[in-house]
Amino acid sequence: MKIATWNINGVKARLDAATLWLEEASPDIACLQEIKSVDEAFPAEAFERLGYNVTTHGQKGFNGVAILSKRPLEDPVRGLDGAPDDVQARYLEGVVSTDEGVVRVASIYLPNGNPVESEKFAYKLAWAERLIARAGELLANEEPVVLAGDYNVIPEPIDAKKPEAWTNDALFQPESRAFYRRLQAMGYLDAVRATTDEAVYTFWDYQAGAWQKDNGIRIDHLLLSPQAADRLETVEIAKDVRGRDKPSDHVPVIATLAV
């Protein structure tokens, strides 16, 4: 089973790019972030024609997450508990049944948090705490879980071409990185780091020739529960997608599990 995460940076603006990549890579499950679309306006038919069931948790103009699955997505969960007044669409979870059992997947769009001195950083950390709580609940089920998404966290200096340039950024703050380590300490495996110790990136800014200079960062992650980690076979970062026409500033990351 191939499970992908991709911050698409606007599903309508990237629809051709998205359908082309899905036709080529054919992941069984694709978790999308920053769809920037309300549910009823999401171009589901384009993905359904490729054989995907579409589940969304959208928001007008901002945020929004989706899960595309070749098998039906069961028991969808939209949003995280703990903040009933939070209207930002950043979390979508569901279960996919396979011949070997079930796999639970979540599409996550963690808040950016910039500027650090603003309430946006406090919101990022509070949202992260809610995700920690949910991640713990999912571990208790002892089933394969893939927490896929744009975490807006640069875990280690190796995950940035120029780590010194991110010192004052919310993505590289000690608190942000500590949250990511806590997920790992709970038992979630960083799929990319489990398969390579090289400097690899998933995001290149549109500005200052970042793509041409390979000035990237790694902020899109697939975190696997122990039951999913036991089935991990390969991980791929589809870097070439960034060099195509009208690209997102992120690229897909794909894990293959033996399920």
Q: How many CA atoms lie within 13 A of 35 on its CB side?
A: 33
Give CA angle at 101 (98, 107), nearest 5°.
70
Whether 197 sits among the annotated catalytic residues: the reply is: no
Residue closest to 191 by CA, chosen among 131, 250, 242, 151:
151
- The model's pLDDT over 174-210, given as tens digits with 9 standing for 90+, comes to 999 999 999 999 999 999 999 999 999 999 999 999 9
Q: Annotated catalytic residue: which of 150, 159, 169, 220? A: 150
Range of the domain at 142: 2-257
- The model's pLDDT over 118-136, given as tens digits with 9 standing for 90+, comes to 999 999 999 999 999 999 9
Mean predicted confidence (pLDDT) in 149-159:
98
CA atoms of 146 and 225, how far apart (whole Å):
7
Helices (H), the chain: 15-25, 44-48, 119-140, 174-186, 191-195, 226-229
- The model's pLDDT over 232-243, given as tens digits with 9 standing for 90+, comes to 999 999 999 999
DSSP designation for 161: S
Residue closest to 105 by CA, chosen among 75, 128, 126, 82:
75
Q: Annotated catalytic residue: which of 28, 151, 220, 250? A: 250
Average model confidence (pLDDT) across the chain: 97
The answer to whether residues 58 and 39 touch, using CB atoms and an 8 Å cutoff, is yes
**pTM greater than the 0.95 cutoff:** yes
Q: Annotated catalytic residue: which of 52, 91, 109, 180? A: 109
Task: Please measure the distance between the N-terminal and C-terminal CA atoms of the chain and give it in whole angstroms.
Answer: 6
Query: Is the CA virtual torsion 150, 153, 156, 162 positive or negative?
Result: positive
Question: Residue ranges for the binding site for Mg(2+)?
Answer: 7, 34, 150, 152, 249-250
- pLDDT of residue 146 exceeding 90, the answer is yes
Number of domains making up the chain: 1
Whether 57 sits among the annotated catalytic residues: the reply is: no
Compute, in degrees rounded to 10, the torsion defined by CA atoms 15, 92, 202, 71.
-70
Give CA angle at 176 (170, 181), nearest 5°.
155
Whether 150 sits among the annotated catalytic residues: the reply is: yes
**pLDDT for 259:** 82
Question: Residue ranges for the binding site?
Answer: 7, 34, 150, 152, 249-250
User: Any idea what the CATH number is for the domain that residue 238 is in?
Assistant: 3.60.10.10
- The model's pLDDT over 47-87, given as tens digits with 9 standing for 90+, comes to 999 999 999 999 999 999 999 999 999 999 999 999 999 99
